[in-house]
Copies of this chain bind each other. A is one copy, B any other.
Amino acid sequence: MNSRITEQLRNMELQKKIVSAAEAASWIEDGMTLGLSGFTRAGDAKAVPMALVDKAKDGPFKVNVYTGASLGSDIDKLMAEAGIIHKRLPFQADSSMRRKINEQELLFTDQHLSHVAEMVRSEVLNPIDFAIIEAVAITEEGEIIPSTSVGNSTIFLEKANSVIIELNLAQPAALEGMHDIYEPGEQGKRLPIALTSVDGHIGSTGMKVDLEKIKGIVLTNDLDSPSTIVPPDEDTATMANHLIEFLREEIRAGRLTNQLAPLQSGIGSVANAVLHGLLDSEFEELEVYSEVLQDAVFDLLDSGKVRFASGCSITLSQEKMKTVFPKLDQYKDQLVLRPQEISNHPEVIRRLGLISINTALEADIYGNVNSTHVCGTKMMNGIGGSGDFARNSRLAIFVTKSVAKNGDISSIVPFVSHVDHTEHDVDVLVTEQGYADLRGLAPVERARLIIENCMHPLYKEQMTAYFEEALARGGQTPHVLEKAFSWHLSYAETGTMLQSEPASLRK
């Protein structure tokens, strides 16, 4: 056994359990439920799921796959295409899997990320037959050190009948010591989660597991799939500026200081770009309390803008991995990775008073937000942690470009075709047109502000006409119900939500 292996696999008994990925996959049977590590492409179990896909060539079987969030390495894609998934939860972000979900070839339960651990712990979901967990090390005592994400691994290890560990020798060894593993225990018997600051540590650096349950250790040697975010563009830079302007107003009003409040930012290019925009701001000594730590967080750490970042995963572009991973130990006092139940816990989010920034797929004039469903029916990725954060933050901010598909889709519609965040939970809406601060406003006030500040000029007249017609009918939240989805229907029929060219734009 080479020294790199014995350095990382320090428990002597477990050294005897090294098996091939194919052998580990052979233990997995039709009808089983698997709990996989992995959160937004980071720290996912790679080899065993891949071997499981191979195994499908020998005959059909189906398993339930629970994870932290989305997986990398095309695992979601390959599993979906192999037809081996019966039910997937709580989040995915792969185009093939998305297609299979929408073709109803597999079941997808779209769930708040902080709730999965509660449901596993209380045995509401199917019992987990195998936890398959990536680790960067196993200690002498047999504690499992997670790699670039923690996700739901802690609870999967605790509740699974059997465990397979993928010991990844390619992940930076410096990850060891960066985790803060805390298990809150059963509802009704638990204590307060003692975290009162972003940089607090309340747990252990490794995950506990009954060593008897570990059936095999698989050695792997591949990095995570890099993130697929695109760089900031003109629109996202403008959105970042609007957001910064809003935050300045909060400082002027005495509601925030120059240090703001701990920041959360959802996954994806837009949220990353908006966070990136803070690089050029006057804000200082910022803190991040988020789920995914993307490229922008490391730029902000490097520039000194951010003093500390707490997350559940590190999900970087290829380029950023190359610069960050070799010097990861330099971030040791500035980074912590927590289980998603803690990174997304309402108790901590409300206590710390986060500023949360998440991406909307569409919003309506009353401030309801759709994060998940294209035209109300087709799943995109899932709600992820956006509900955990928006529901409990000091400031729930949603960002979206005001139009998509070259203007054929307005991201602001009369009535969202699916609701993931209700009017009660959306504080501020930001587009490249401007921002609308909806706090404390009644619905008709919200509508006027969103139309005025956030809508693209292409659609303003069309929406004003809808709103005026609705207003004439009265009500707390005026609607013309028979036309509420007319924009979506128009898009489906004609390829554009634009019902006629606005008079103001006509030559």
Which residues from chain A sit less than 8 Å from chain B, CB to CB?
A: 87, 89, 101-104, 107-112, 115, 118-119, 122-126, 186-188, 190-194, 196, 253-255, 261-262, 345-347, 350-353, 368, 373, 375-379, 383, 387, 391-392, 394, 417-425, 439-442, 444-445, 470-471, 473-479, 481-482, 484-485, 488-489, 492
Contact = CB atoms under 8 A, between A and B. Distances in A.
22 contacts: A89-B440, A104-B475, A109-B440, A123-B254, A188-B353, A190-B351, A346-B347, A346-B392, A347-B347, A347-B350, A368-B419, A373-B476, A376-B479, A377-B476, A377-B479, A378-B475, A418-B477, A420-B424, A481-B485, A481-B489, A482-B485, A484-B485
Given A254-B123, A346-B347, A107 B445 contact: yes
Nearest to A347: B347
A293 to B, nearest CB: 20
B102 A474 contact: yes
Given A418-B477, A421-B422, A485-B485, 6 more contacts: A124-B440, A188-B353, A190-B196, A192-B194, A347-B347, A377-B473
Contact of A377 (B122, B379, B481): B481
Nearest to A393: B187
A261 B476 CA distance: 36
A427 to B, nearest CB: 9
A353 to B, nearest CB: 3
B187 A353 contact: yes
Count identical subunits in the complex: 2
A112 B422 CA distance: 11
Contacts of A471: 104
A474 B378 CA distance: 8
Contacts of A419: 368, 419, 422
B477 A377 contact: yes
B488 A481 contact: yes
Contacts of A387: 422, 424-425
B112 A377 contact: no
A425 B392 CA distance: 14
A342 to B, nearest CB: 12
A473 B375 CA distance: 12
Contacts of A118: 394
A378 B476 contact: yes
B109 A351 contact: no
A80 to B, nearest CB: 13
Most-contacted residue by chain B among A352, A470, A474 (CB, 10 A): A474
Contacts of A104: 444, 471, 474-475
Nearest to A418: B477
Which of A188, A254, A481, A484 has its CB near the most chain B CB atoms (within 10 A)? A188
Given A261-B188, A422-B387, A481-B489, A475 B350 contact: no
Contact of A442 (B107, B350, B352): B107
Q: Which 3 A-B pairs have the closest CB atoms?
A: A187-B353, A377-B475, A192-B192
Contacts of A108: 442, 476
A245 to B, nearest CB: 17
Contacts of A375: 481
Contact of A124 (B115, B196, B255): B255
Contact of A347 (B126, B196, B351, B481): B351
Contacts of A102: 474-476
Contacts of A378: 474-476
A253 B119 CA distance: 14
Nearest to A493: B482
A267 B9 CA distance: 57
Contact of A477 (B125, B352, B376, B383): B376
Nearest to A438: B109
Contacts of A479: 376-377, 417
Nearest to A196: B191
A421 B391 CA distance: 11
B119 A439 contact: yes
A383 B424 CA distance: 9
Nearest to A103: B474
A145 to B, nearest CB: 28
A348 to B, nearest CB: 9
Contacts of A193: 192
Contacts of A422: 387, 419-422
